[in-house]
Structure 1
Amino acid sequence: MTDALNTLPDSQTADQPSDQELKAKRKKSLSFVALIVILAVILYLIWKLFFNHSVSTDNAYVGAETATVTSMVTGQVAEVLVSDTHQVKKGDLLVVVDNRDAKIALAQAQAELAKAKRQYKQTSANSNSLNSQIYVSDDVIHSAEAQVAKAQADAGKAQDELQRRSQLAASGAISKEELSTAQSAVNTAKASLDVAQAGLNQAKSSQKAAQSNKAANDALIQGSNENSAPDVLVAQTRVEQALLDLERTQIKAPFDGVVTSRKIQVGQRVAPGSVLLMVVPLSQLYVDANFKESQLENVQPGQKVALTSDLYGDSVEYQGTVVGFSGGTGSAFALIPAQNATGNWIKVVQRLPVRIQLDPKELAEHPLRVGLSMEAKIDLTSK
């Protein structure tokens, strides 16, 4: 029994590893971990140098600069020639507004234009007539001046006769009746002189009035003709506005596209600014790809982008080009922006919209629609 007790510790001691073996195992484990870390670093460097040439996202959607077609005139809708999903070409007629009011306004504007031209002709004729009156008034003034001279001579003669008769009356050579007659003749001559002088003044005043009227008429037509007079130009502008309003009763497509969101019916009354429908340009679509902010370090405008849509799957690949970046993230322009100045703030990786232009030829072969989901992959080496 004593031998058994003596042999038990020796067997346990033989089963336990020595310190050297433990150190060897520990060294081997650390070497294995170091090897894994070195391999990971090497793989990361290989990926970084040779394979990290693109960034991708599936948070991308098709967009377009849609046209909201509105009415420019007031009136009742007479015809609606399109419906939703209709494809239209630039200049195709979409909606017709009742044009009878516009035709009446055009006729009134044309009548005002004709009246303005006639008034210009009348003003021009008045200037010629006033010019003739000025020439005639010269003759009238000369005649009035002759009448004044004659009246002055008669008044002087009558005054001389009165003076002689006054001297004779003092000596009793003539009667008082003859002296009174001479005095009456002087008074009559003076009155005739006053009348002649008034006639001369009236003739001069008439000439000045004619000259003033002519100057006023000349100011109205000076430097212009029948087509360039101010009143005529104003009337012509009203005619052009009426023509434009008449043309706007026929609402046409601004470009090629598909009609959507039709909101108008026949018989409905519209006013300027009323929304009628929308036109989506299918040949001018783009993609807004929302990349994480950590992906955009090396993204630049002009880089090529490979895109696929959920509509066609991976069998159809679009080739796009980075156009630019949005001015801010979606949350920055939200109706109620996020308020991060709180005690329970948690950092969230933000996404920035990147605008990608699509090839019109590829869109013609495989049409897309606004709002469809896309996957975008930017080639960072394609500058």
Structure 2
Amino acid sequence: MSENAQDQKAQDQGVKTETAEGSGSVIDKSKRKNLLLGFGAAVVLVGAIWGIYEAFIAEGTVSTDNAYVAAENAEVTPLTSGRVVEVLVTDTQPVKRGQLLFRIDDADQKIVLAEAEANLARAKRMYGQSLANNQALGAAADANQAQINTARANQAAARADLTKAQSDFARRNELAGTGAVSIEELTTARQALDSAKAAYEQAQASLKQAQASAVSARRQEQAAVALTEGTTLKTAPEIQLAQAQYDKARLDLERTVVRAPIDGVVSKRTIQVGQKVQNGEAAMIIVPVGKLYVDANFKEDKLGNVRSGQSAKLTSDFYGGDVVYHGKVVGFSGGTGAAFSLIPAQNATGNWIKVVQRLPVRIELDPAELAAHPLRVGLSMEAEIDLSSKD
């Protein structure tokens, strides 16, 4: 056989081999059709399951992962000024209500209290003096009234003396022309008449003076009594004022000892020993970890069927999905976060773009579950509200 014939035969055998190998890698058309049908059926089944879930299960709940733990924190602020002499707690330390937190130097408050106590004692003594003065003025007014009676008696006596002197003078004056009465006797009668007139006028003036003195004394008594009338040692205004100042001074002294207003954990302690603190200056914050709640921010188009009292399930990133908290909806915020922001959005512009807003929904947590798995303010949560639960 020639070389050309052998080469041609070798080439033919190679082509057959390649054809045979290629036919083995090609999927049979019938099997490929079955695979496509199976894949399509699986897609349809998954879609049907998802549709059933959305129609019967998902429609009964709303959920969000935009939720955070919050609490009504207690800010500890001293109500009196002074230098801090002792701090008994640190950050992260649990405290009980009424537990001593820190002390303020009370030297100034003790001095003010002593001064207020002295003023109170003085006010009580002054009140007693006023009562005694009222009695003295009343006695003086009564004495002046007695003087009026004496002046009236003196006036009556002077009137009688004047009448007698007038009669004696008139009788002697009639007899003067007959020579029965001497000039000297007539002169004496005239002098007696003049003396009686003067005595009468003096008696009248004394009566008027006694009456005026009695009126003045009675008015002084009334003015003094008006300051204490209807009052007692406890209800007198000046004593109440002194008592109020004393109570304030004592309260300021008590406020130099600062105690925890609630149970919780100390956070953000800002005071140190030796620091001068002012009235109302924040010293620390106490977080009531046993009374936490969750603010869940739901999209506005998910809240149409959410009502207060509905139950909720929550999980925390802190513990993971193994720990489930149970709570209930207790209320809704009065507005969105954008509405209460420092610079609210101005939507009346030409380039406005609608953004779905979120409204905070407050969910109350079960205290027993919080005690078993404590949380802290600010932790992330996932919340799911059961819309089928009753209010």
Deviates more, 1:276-285 or 1:291-300: 291-300
- Partner residue in 2 for 1:372: 379
Aligned partners of 1:311 and 1:179: how far apart in 2?
133
Aligned partners of 1:197 and 1:312: how far apart in 2?
108
Amino-acid identity (%):
54
- Partner residue in 2 for 1:27: none
Amino acid at match of 1:327: G
- Partner residue in 2 for 1:20: none
* Alignment counterpart, residue 360 of structure 1, candidates 356, 361, 367: 367
Distance 1:138 1:290, change over 3 A: closer
1:268 aligns with 2:275: yes
Distance 1:219 1:49, change over 3 A: same
* Cα offset, 1:370, TM superposition: 1.0
1:348 aligns with 2:355: yes
Amino acid at match of 1:243: R
Report the secondary structure of 1:200's partner residue.
helix
Could you give the per-residue CA deviations for residues 213-247 of structure 1, whole angstroms, max 9, x where no partner exists?
33233333333322222222222222222222222
1:120 aligns with 2:127: yes
* Cα offset, 1:310, TM superposition: 1.5
Distance 1:43 1:226, change over 3 A: closer
List aligned pairs for 1:128-207, cutoff 5 A: 128-171=135-178, 176-207=183-214
Does the Cα contact within 8 Å between 2:82 and 2:105 map onto a contact in 1? yes
Amino acid at match of 2:330: V
Instruction: Tell me how many residue pairs correspond in the alignment.
Output: 353
* Alignment counterpart, residue 306 of structure 2, candidates 294, 299, 306: 299
Aligned partners of 2:49 and 2:73: how far apart in 1?
50
- Partner residue in 2 for 1:12: none
* Cα offset, 1:373, TM superposition: 1.1
Distance 1:148 1:51, change over 3 A: closer
Query: Where in structure 1 are there 5+ consecutive unaligned residues?
Result: 1-32
Report the secondary structure of 2:214's partner residue.
helix
Report the secondary structure of 2:283's partner residue.
strand
Amino acid at match of 1:199: S
Amino acid at match of 2:279: P
* Alignment counterpart, residue 292 of structure 2, candidates 285, 301, 305: 285
Could you give the per-residue CA deviations for residues 279-325 of structure 1, whole angstroms, max 9, x where no partner exists?
11111111111122222232222122221212112222211211122
- Partner residue in 1 for 2:116: 109
Report the secondary structure of 2:249's partner residue.
helix
Report the secondary structure of 1:368's partner residue.
coil
Deviates more, 1:74-83 or 1:325-334: 74-83
Deviates more, 1:60-69 or 1:184-193: 184-193
- Partner residue in 1 for 2:240: 233
Aligned partners of 1:68 and 1:244: how far apart in 2?
20
Amino acid at match of 1:133: A
* Alignment counterpart, residue 62 of structure 1, candidates 55, 59, 69: 69
- Partner residue in 2 for 1:77: 84
Could you give the per-residue CA deviations for residues 50-102 of structure 1, whole angstroms, max 9, x where no partner exists?
45332222211111111112222222222222222121110112222222222
Aligned partners of 2:380 and 2:47: how far apart in 1?
36
Amino acid at match of 2:84: V
- Partner residue in 1 for 2:59: 52
Runs of 4+ in 1 over 6 A off after TM superposition: 36-39
* Cα offset, 1:333, TM superposition: 1.4
Query: Where in structure 2 are there 5+ consecutive unaligned residues?
Result: 1-39
1:255 aligns with 2:262: yes
Aligned partners of 2:242 and 2:53: how far apart in 1?
79
Does the Cα contact within 8 Å between 2:141 and 2:221 map onto a contact in 1? no
Amino acid at match of 2:147: V
